[in-house]
């Protein structure tokens, strides 16, 4: 579900809050997602209350929550408190890139470019080895965001910028993507210039900061073979969705590649089980035989932190469980 109206965001937040009550072991990721929807609905004080509730309960990711709280506070007039929280997060030197990126982008969005660049640089110096090519998706996002801010400040390339350029896989180079002169192109009446800008914007969507700042992947369900057999034996109505196990695996990879080519960031795969699916269907007052329930189930599992990132890192095992490397299995034709 990707709501577009404030009322839809509020409805989704309420659904996530109910789900958190049903699955207290997954309370933290569910409340974080609910808070994000409340922010999008303009209910920023309620979002702050959720962040405070999480922080009072010894969360697994306190620095992430503090950064999100600061970003939210600044948006409705609490600049001084937001600045204080960001400074506190920086002093803690998080080992996770997400708090750094959220804090730096909060500063950037309020035209504090020098402080944003300093925050990004502290994070890059701490977390990113310049000699490595195996950089996680989250760190690639941080490096690309840092590159953007430094381009706005007209700073010369350094080692981290060079690494960001090397890791970038989009059709449009980062230097062009982050060129401040692009702002002028948006007001052009030349069709060729406008078309070029559309191409750049499409490329930029592949790593756009809003989606990457929230660790909630767009997820696709993976039914292990035994689980799929059990599912279809109990609910043969779903055979149209899953004609064979092999077709199921092929559809997963094809769907994820299509989403990636369309510029959807932060993709993931969630393992499904029949008991979990049946419990979810009961919580939604529906039948597991209803195929419309499947994407909602995937979204809920992702919100509960059950997704693994796609594509796997270089050299990692394939997501399908074959035991082979991704490059020699479902990723062998990946470009």
Measured torsion, CA atoms of residues 325, 326, 329, 332, in degrees rounded to the nearest 10: -120
Q: Give the CA distances from residue 67 to residues 22, 77, 89, 228, in Å, rounded to whole numbers and listed in that order.
A: 27, 16, 7, 40
Query: Would you state the pLDDT for residue 5?
Result: 56
Residue 86 domain-assigned (yes or no): no
CA quadruple 216, 261, 176, 174: dihedral positive or negative?
positive
- For residue 238, the enclosing domain spans 218-328
Residue 238 domain-assigned (yes or no): yes
Please tell me the distance from the alpha carbon of residue 37 to that of residue 44, in angstroms, as a whole number: 10
Residues 6+ apart with CB under 8 A from 185: 193, 194, 196, 197
Percent of the chain with pLDDT over 70: 86
Query: Would you state the pLDDT for residue 207?
Result: 47
Residue 95 domain-assigned (yes or no): no
Residue 24 domain-assigned (yes or no): no
Residues 6+ apart with CB under 8 A from 152: 113, 178, 180
**Contact status, residue 59 vs residue 96, Cβ threshold 8 Å:** no
Output the average pLDDT for the chain: 85
Please tell me the distance from the alpha carbon of residue 192 to that of residue 34, in angstroms, as a whole number: 42
Residue 170 domain-assigned (yes or no): no
Scanning the chain, the segments in alpha helix (DSSP H) are: 6-22, 27-40, 44-55, 62-75, 79-92, 97-109, 113-127, 137-152, 159-167, 174-177, 182-185, 191-205, 209-213, 225-234, 245-261, 274-283, 293-303
Tell which residue, 246, 265, 266, has the closest CA to residue 320.
246
Residue 41 domain-assigned (yes or no): no
Displacement of CA 182 from its chain's centroid (Å): 26
Tell me the per-residue pLDDT of 60-85, one tens digit each, with 9 for 90 and over. Answer: 899 999 999 999 999 999 999 999 99
Q: How many separate domains does the chain show?
A: 1
Residue 246 domain-assigned (yes or no): yes
Query: Would you state the pLDDT for residue 334?
Result: 56
**Contact status, residue 293 vs residue 205, Cβ threshold 8 Å:** no
Going by pLDDT thresholds of 50, 70 and 90, the confidence category of residue 235 is: very high
Tell me the per-residue pLDDT of 253-269, one tens digit each, with 9 for 90 and over. Answer: 999 998 888 777 778 89
Tell me the per-residue pLDDT of 110-138, one tens digit each, with 9 for 90 and over. Answer: 989 999 999 999 999 999 987 666 788 78
Predicted TM-score of the model (pTM): 0.64
Please tell me the distance from the alpha carbon of residue 226 to that of residue 165, in angstroms, as a whole number: 43
Going by pLDDT thresholds of 50, 70 and 90, the confidence category of residue 287 is: very high
Residue 252: pLDDT over 70: yes
Residue 240 domain-assigned (yes or no): yes
């Amino acid at each position: 579900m990707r709501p577009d109206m404030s009322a839809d965001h509020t409805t989704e937040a309420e659904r996530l809050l109910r789900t958190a009550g049903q699955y207290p072991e997954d309370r933290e990721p569910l409340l974080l997602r609910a808070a994000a929807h409340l922010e999008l609905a303009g209910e920023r004080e309620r979002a702050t209350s959720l962040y405070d509730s999480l922080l009072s309960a010894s969360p697994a990711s306190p620095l992430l929550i503090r950064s999100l709280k600061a970003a939210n506070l600044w948006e409705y007039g609490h600049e001084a408190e937001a600045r204080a929280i960001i400074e506190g997060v920086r002093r803690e030197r998080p080992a996770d890139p997400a708090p750094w990126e959220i804090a730096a982008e909060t500063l950037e969005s309020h035209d504090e470019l020098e402080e944003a660049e300093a925050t990004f640089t502290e994070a890059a110096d701490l977390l990113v080895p310049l000699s490595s090519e195996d950089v996680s998706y989250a760190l690639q996002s941080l490096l690309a965001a840092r590159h953007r801010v430094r381009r706005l400040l007209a700073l010369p390339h350094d080692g981290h910028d060079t690494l960001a350029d090397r890791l970038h896989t989009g059709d449009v180079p980062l230097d062009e993507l982050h060129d401040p002169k692009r702002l002028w192109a948006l007001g052009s009446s030349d069709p060729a210039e406008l078309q070029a800008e559309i191409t750049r914007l499409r490329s930029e969507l592949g790593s756009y900061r809003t989606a990457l700042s929230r660790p909630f992947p767009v997820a696709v369900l993976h039914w292990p073979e035994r689980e799929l057999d059990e599912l279809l034996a109990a609910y043969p109505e779903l055979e149209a969705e899953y004609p064979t196990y092999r077709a199921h695996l092929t559809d997963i990879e094809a769907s994820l590649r299509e989403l990636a080519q369309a510029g959807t960031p932060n993709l993931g795969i969630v393992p499904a089980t029949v008991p979990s699916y049946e419990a979810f269907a009961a919580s939604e007052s529906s039948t597991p035989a209803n195929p419309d329930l499947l994407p909602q189930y995937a979204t809920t599992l992702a919100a509960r932190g059950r997704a693994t990132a796609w594509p796997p890192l270089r050299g990692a095992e394939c997501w399908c469980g074959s035991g082979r490397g991704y490059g020699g299995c479902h990723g062998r034709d990946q470009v």
